[in-house]
Copies of this chain bind each other. A is one copy, B any other.
Amino acid sequence: MNAPTALSHLVPEIRQREVPQALIDALKARFADQCSTAMAVREQHGRDESSFEAPPPAAVVFAQSTQDVADAVALASAHSVPVIPFGVGSSLEGHLLAVQGGISIDVARMNKVLSINADDLTVTVQPGVTRKQLNEEIKSTGLFFPIDPGADASIGGMAATRASGTNAVRYGTMRENVLALEVVTASGEVIRTGTRAKKSSAGYDLTRLMVGSEGTLGVITEITVRIYPLPEAISAAICSFPSIEAAVRTTIQVIQLGVPIARVELIDVNTVRMVNAHSKLGLREEPMLLMEFHGSPAGVKEQAETVQELASEHGGKAFEWASTPEERTRLWTARHNAYFAAIQSRPGCKAISTDTCVPISRLADCLLDSVAEADASGIPYFLVGHVGDGNFHFGYLLDPNDPKEREVAEKLNHDLVARALRLEGTCTGEHGVGLHKMGFLVDEAGVGAVDMMRTIKRALDPKNIMNPGKIFAL
């Protein structure tokens, strides 16, 4: 077993279940070179973008079809061995770690867009299709898939963690945009949930039970999502503010007025400095909002005028506009490079990302107090936020060799989550619970609701083989 990490007190005990050689033999027999036990492959599948560590899975199956997934799960089930679905490995809360041992099912080769129903604004994909790939493949239809969590995540992984990101303020999250799923259950059976109809009252909403279940109830093998006509007009703008409070208060008013803004992202002054240093953008070093407006040319103009007026009431200045794709790309570079710029600002550091979301009226209270605490801590950080949804992320930039810094960062995160919960918010807006937020989930949902989740898990996965040890202790 690996040495415990500095955070091991925060994550459940690592209880490795035995993976019998008979299972490995059976997997090799069934999957031949689609099954690997090479240490490098196992290690690559035993981690994600979090800073947690655990021993790697005992084997990796590279599934190429639903039948592959079903057979792998059935074999694992026969030996009561855990299975962990793997997309591109971009999850952030330790979702992919084999904390109870087991095998990884990599769905990256299941990367086909199965059908594009442009007339219905739906598309059906295999789980390994990434969001950028999807948008590339549907580009010629004049339609797009708006959900953008930053990373070029797989659609399967995005469904499993109920991902969202910059466009969610206008287009919703995976919760609103997944219409139907194909899922391999814990017994290796294949079921379908939902239809391509836009709405339905036909029984329990299994689709939304699976969305956000983080691989603990089944392996998603097919996803039907909504897509949208590319807006006739798109306009992007950057606006600088004298304070972070002014930027946040502008956002709150934009949302309360019902302006259908497509993106409204906060970048704090720290982060502006980092992206200036990283990408030579020459941005004014003040807190800023990056905004995007979608609609008809007249509609976009109208939205932009409304927002500009609200911003100027809060001292917002230096609106910089971009209407061509090239200009927009330049403006959005600041947002898209924030993470890398931040990491490079402190060589050798690791980032711990927070992810609270509060009702919009509480955003200023939640965010400003947390900024004050982060400033006082002395830990370098970046701050970005999908503030139109009340969702924001601090990234604390830690020296991985300094346990004290980790402790301070965890304390900052703890206090931030506690504040968000007091303000009727959630401990995770879009990253999921994984290993890291089990305690916070109980604080948020209460023992009764978490017990209900556990009861569902036990009923649907009686051997506890589907990504066990995530969301709640079991």
Supposing A200-B357, A202-B441 touch, asked if A458 and B456 sit within 8 A by C-beta, the answer is no
Residues of B within 8 A of A193 (CB): 445, 449
Q: Is A69 an interface residue (CB 8 A)?
A: no
Q: Is A164 an interface residue (CB 8 A)?
A: yes
Interface pair A197/B117, CB less than 8 Å apart:
no
Residues of B within 8 A of A121 (CB): 255-256, 360
Min distance, Cβ A2 to any Cβ of chain B, angstroms: 27
Residues of B within 8 A of A355 (CB): 201
Chain B CB within 10 A, most for which of A161, A357, A449: A449
Q: How many copies does the complex hold?
A: 2
| Binary interface encoding of chain A residues 270-286 relative to chain B, with 1 for a CB under 8 A from any of its CBs, else 0 | 00000000000000000
| Binary interface encoding of chain A residues 356-367 relative to chain B, with 1 for a CB under 8 A from any of its CBs, else 0 | 011111100000
Interface pair B302/A428, CB less than 8 Å apart:
no
Chain B CB within 10 A, most for which of A161, A175, A252: A175
Q: Is A471 an interface residue (CB 8 A)?
A: yes
**A252-293 with Cβ < 8 A to chain B:** 252, 255-258
Interface pair B357/A197, CB less than 8 Å apart:
yes
Supposing A189-B448, A190-B448, A197-B390 touch, asked if A204 and B453 sit within 8 A by C-beta, the answer is yes
Nearest B residue to A472 by beta-carbon distance? B203
Cα–Cα distance between A424 and B180 once the two chains are bound (Å): 11
Interface pair B201/A162, CB less than 8 Å apart:
yes
Residues of B within 8 A of A389 (CB): 198-199
Binds B, one of A19-27, A53-61, A208-216: A208-216
Residues of B within 8 A of A196 (CB): 359, 424-425
Residues of B within 8 A of A432 (CB): 201
Interface pair A229/B258, CB less than 8 Å apart:
yes
Interface pair B203/A453, CB less than 8 Å apart:
yes
Supposing A119-B360, A176-B176, A258-B228 touch, asked if A471 and B302 sit within 8 A by C-beta, the answer is no
Cα–Cα distance between A168 and B361 once the two chains are bound (Å): 26
Interface pair A202/B459, CB less than 8 Å apart:
no
**A399-422 with Cβ < 8 A to chain B:** 420
Choose among B161, B197, B209, B302 the residue that contacts A201 (Cβ–Cβ < 8 A): B161
Interface pair A203/B122, CB less than 8 Å apart:
no
Q: Is A444 an interface residue (CB 8 A)?
A: yes
Residues of B within 8 A of A437 (CB): 202
Interface pair A212/B205, CB less than 8 Å apart:
yes
Interface pair B448/A185, CB less than 8 Å apart:
yes
Interface pair B195/A424, CB less than 8 Å apart:
yes
Q: Is A100 an interface residue (CB 8 A)?
A: no
| Binary interface encoding of chain A residues 297-331 relative to chain B, with 1 for a CB under 8 A from any of its CBs, else 0 | 01100100000000000000000000000000000
**A345-359 with Cβ < 8 A to chain B:** 355, 357-359
Interface pair A199/B164, CB less than 8 Å apart:
yes
Q: Is A71 an interface residue (CB 8 A)?
A: no
Cα–Cα distance between A298 and B471 once the two chains are bound (Å): 47
Q: Is A427 an interface residue (CB 8 A)?
A: yes
Nearest B residue to A118 by beta-carbon distance? B256
Interface pair B426/A200, CB less than 8 Å apart:
yes
A-B contact pairs, 12 of them (CB 8 A): A119-B256, A121-B255, A164-B199, A193-B449, A196-B424, A197-B357, A204-B209, A204-B453, A205-B211, A231-B258, A452-B460, A455-B459
Which A residues are closer than 8 A to B by beta carbons?
117, 119-122, 161-164, 168, 172-173, 175-176, 185, 189-193, 195-206, 208-209, 211-213, 217, 228-229, 231, 252, 255-258, 295-296, 298-299, 302, 355, 357-362, 389-391, 420, 424-433, 437, 440-441, 444-446, 448-450, 452-453, 455-456, 458-460, 471-472
